[in-house]
Structure 1
Amino acid sequence: MDIKHLITFKTIAQLGSFTKASQVLNYSQSTLTIHIQTIEKELDGRVFDRIGRHIAITALGNELLPLAAAIITNYEEIETLKRPHDSGNQTITLGMQESVALYRLQPLIRRFQQTHPQVTLIQVLGHKSELTEKLLASELDAMFVMQRRDEQAQLPAVELVEEKMGIVGNHSSLHSLTDLAAETTVFIYPKNDCSYRNIFDKYLGGYVTKQTNLIEALSIEAIKNNILLHHGVSVLPYSTVASEIASRQLRFFELDLTEKDKISTQFLYHKKKWLSPLLHEFTFFVEKELRS
């Protein structure tokens, strides 16, 4: 097997699909199949199970993945030494929380790719705990999350922009914070591992103890839909509800957070993983745009 076989394997494992990997790598699916068959022949075992149209990585595949990621990282570092000023034909694999990907980075990614058309940027969406595991296993080049400033001690972090946090409610039913005491108020909990769940508990917990109508939502879109449909209340970053506030669907009451509670969008990386010049360039671009 050679490096392109390992890149194919890593990409399929991350995307969970031969079809998506074919589009990203610009290979035919038959070529991808040959790459995987070559790996499986040399290892004398399967790295993926095919179940109808779906695939699942095997135990052998899970053993290979971090090793393949490390080899690919070393290969990319060597390639950069050969052509240090060329940022074309490279791939960046970034982990992102839904909140960061949808509401902060998408427009920036589109602008970056307009000036870097040869760069493939793979976005892996997930919860922070899942992304952290992938970054520590070298399956990601870096990750972007919203979290408290001192929350991720095991990974170095660069703060990009502070997030304005507030209590969010339906525009037609939450006219002031005194409305929170109404018996009909529906409180929408962020998921337990959400970075600002503690803010919800701290600033709305006193009201929640008196209520029986509670909903735990798994995503920001689910929280917003519940607020609109059930006249619920939650805590969210302003960046995730700006359009609904502008259209007078939602109201936003900014919270005066303590330094310890403040949330920011951050860039996290593995201190032992090499960061390519292209990744540095992308991160600098994102930081500049978010702070402008």
Structure 2
Amino acid sequence: MDIRQLRTFHRVASLGSFTRAAAELNYAQSSVTAQIKSLEASLGSELFERVAGKVKLTPAGTRLLPYAGQLLSLAHEARGVASPDAQPEGLLTIGTMESITSYRMPTVLEYFHHRYPRLQISLRPSLCAETLHALRQGVFDAGFLMEAETQHSGVHSEVLGVEPLLIVAAPGHRLADAAKVDTDELRSESVLAPEAGCAYRELFEAELNDGTGEPVPFLEFGNVEAIKRGVGAGLGISLLPRMTVADELAAGSLVPLAWEPPFELYTQLAWRKGSALSRERQVFVEQVIDFLSHEYQEL
């Protein structure tokens, strides 16, 4: 068992694909397969199985994964100690969500592209619960959360700021000109929402269903862009992070409703508790906090 095999195992486990892992690592797929088979032979256990055409970890692979993450982190740290003046390099896998990827990260990624060209940042779409699990398992190096809670078992999180939320509707909506909108007035509306597991959807759903006896139906539209198009077409209303609808509000294609959310959502950067930050992760954490904390302070 060597570091190269563990890195390959870690990438296949993270991506759920031998083909994608080979592309990321710049290996031939046959090389990835050979490394995994060699690692399995040295351990005497199968690490992956195919279920319904997908690659999944076996129980042995699941047990190995957090240790592989720790060993790779130590290897990064050791290289940093031995070569303190070397530029950060390698691959960082970051769990994130559509709104952060599309509306917060472009300037950060541009900075890393020019300042640290040998450091590759791979953004993995993930719901917050999935991100937390992947961080605890060592699959993600860091991850973004958008949650009401700021303390998470096994994970250290740094609050970047309160994420402003608002309800949007099509121009001409019956509540568009109301000076104040009550929750009761929203219960009769069709609500467009991202998939279950999204924190602001769940908080909004709980608020609408509170004490009503009947759950308010939500129309799942999958992603923010689809939701905005549906709202603009008059299919219903939606609660979204303000950053995702700033352009549409400025253009007048969507309008905000005067409803004040009775909850707050905190955008956070998180990483596994107890793991030493490699030079690469340290640079990423410091720069993201610097970039995004300033953005939230200006809101």
TM over 0.5: yes
Q: Compute the TM-score of the two structures, normalised by the length of structure 2.
A: 0.82
CA distance in 1, matches of 2:23, 2:139: 19
Conserved 8 A contact 1:147-1:195: yes
C-alpha distance after superposition, 1:121-165 (max 9, x if no partner): 122221111111111122222211212254646533212233221
Structure 1: tracts of 5 or more residues without a match: none
- How far off is 1:2 after superposition? 0.8
1:233 maps onto 2:230 in alignment: no
CA distance in 1, matches of 2:86, 2:240: 41
CA distance in 1, matches of 2:120, 2:239: 35
Match of 2:104 in 1: 104
3-state SS in 1 of match to 2:104: helix
CA distance in 1, matches of 2:75, 2:208: 50
- How far off is 1:107 after superposition? 3.8
Match of 1:21 in 2: 21
Match of 1:135 in 2: 135
Match of 2:176 in 1: 175
C-alpha distance after superposition, 1:28-75 (max 9, x if no partner): 222212211211221233322357974333233222212211211222
Conserved 8 A contact 1:185-1:213: no
Conserved 8 A contact 1:166-1:252: yes
- How far off is 1:14 after superposition? 0.6
Match of 2:42 in 1: 42
Match of 2:64 in 1: 64
- How far off is 1:226 after superposition? 3.4
CA distance in 1, matches of 2:191, 2:212: 7
Moved more, 247-256 or 158-167: 247-256
Conserved 8 A contact 1:185-1:231: no
CA distance in 1, matches of 2:53, 2:205: 43
AA paired with 2:242? Y
Q: 1:229 to 1:88 in 2, by over 3 A?
A: same
Say which of 198, 201, 211 aligns to 1:197.
Answer: 201
What RMSD in Å do the two structures reach over aligned CA positions? 3.2
Q: 1:214 to 1:26 in 2, by over 3 A?
A: closer
CA distance in 2, matches of 1:264, 1:158: 10
1:166 maps onto 2:166 in alignment: yes
- How far off is 1:264 after superposition? 2.7
- How far off is 1:21 after superposition? 1.4
CA distance in 2, matches of 1:92, 1:276: 10
Match of 2:189 in 1: 185
CA distance in 2, matches of 1:66, 1:194: 26
CA distance in 2, matches of 1:198, 1:36: 40
- Summarize the alignment of residues 78-93 of structure 1 with structure 2, pairs less than 5 Å apart: 78-93=78-93
Q: 1:183 to 1:124 in 2, by over 3 A?
A: closer
1:249 maps onto 2:253 in alignment: yes
Give the number of equivalent residue pairs: 290
- How far off is 1:194 after superposition? 2.5
AA paired with 2:96? M
Moved more, 2-11 or 47-56: 47-56
3-state SS in 1 of match to 2:198: coil
C-alpha distance after superposition, 1:74-110 (max 9, x if no partner): 2222111111232333221211123222222244223
- Summarize the alignment of residues 248-267 of structure 1 with structure 2, pairs less than 5 Å apart: 248-253=252-257, 256=260, 261-267=263-269
